[in-house]
Amino acid sequence: MTGAIIAFLCLLLGLFLQKQSNLPLEKITKWVNAYLLNIVLPALALLYIPQINPGLELLIPISSAWFTFLLSWLIFGLLGKLLKWDNQTTGCLVIVAGLANTSFLGFPVVEGLYGKEALPIALLIDQGGSFLLVSSLSILVGSIYSHKEGNLREIPLKILKFPPFGFLMLTIVMSILGWKTPEFLIPIVSVIGKTMAPMAIFAIGLKFSIDFDSLSSKYYWFGMGYRLLLAPMMVWLIYRNFLPEESLEFKVTVLESGMAPMITGSIVAIQYDLKPKLATLLAGLGIPISIVTIMIWYYFLG
């Protein structure tokens, strides 16, 4: 209950600061995101990943993020051609609807619904799936569907320079070799890890806005329908053949597939001038709407 109250207060704080015109909101948002990406995620990796017994079954949850992104590219690529959408709209939907908010929204939701033991699975899906996708294929899609050219040769370097990815690789090696995180680090990374939920909710509060006029956009509902309904449905239909339906791995995999569109994905779309307004709406309005569908999926999974 205490954690829920703190998270709610952080949401209110984010909403309050968003309305203060004299504050450098973009800088605050950037700092919060940098803290979450460069400090909290590596701390969580050190805290949880070395405790996992490695096995091929770990690749199954990770693959769900790649599956839903590639499916998004296939569906919206075909719809764009059949319905004669402009390239910017198609590219925006492929990227933003194809990437789920598996960290800033997914981590606190998964932890709240399934407990701390579910976080390592969510972390793997996010780092092995969502992050790699937003750092590679989303840039490729942006280059294809916009008039701007991306330097594809820079993609591997960007991935290697990203701190959470480096820590993920380190902790996976530690897990394979049976090395545990040093005891003196456990209290430190544990305290840092506990800030994930409130800071993530605070970041959401800084971004959250309602634009009722834009709810009539058919492209918005195409994107939301895919992200919140079709993507988790396809994961549920296919992945139950590979994971036990009652297992925590299966439930977290389906639930993470039904999170709202990733904020970072919308930023990539904006950078490539792929319908910035649509990208912002999908990521922003998607968060409150997804709370309803996430709870439906949670009770459906049992």
Instruction: State the average pLDDT over residues 257-279.
Output: 87
| Confidence at residue 261, expressed as pLDDT on a 0 to 100 scale | 94
Lowest mean pLDDT among 187-191, 224-228, 256-260: 187-191
| Confidence at residue 213, expressed as pLDDT on a 0 to 100 scale | 66
Measured distance CA(102)–CA(205) in Å, rounded? 17
What pTM, to 2 d.p., does this model score? 0.77
Tens digit of pLDDT for each residue in 112-154? Answer: 899 988 988 998 898 788 877 887 788 888 888 886 555 556 6
Query: Residue 28: exposed, middle, or buried by beta-carbon count in 10 A (0-12, 13-18, 19+)?
Result: middle
| Confidence at residue 8, expressed as pLDDT on a 0 to 100 scale | 73
Phi-psi sector, 250: left (phi>0), alpha (psi -120 to 50), beta: alpha
| Confidence at residue 214, expressed as pLDDT on a 0 to 100 scale | 65
Query: Residue 26: exposed, middle, or buried by beta-carbon count in 10 A (0-12, 13-18, 19+)?
Result: exposed
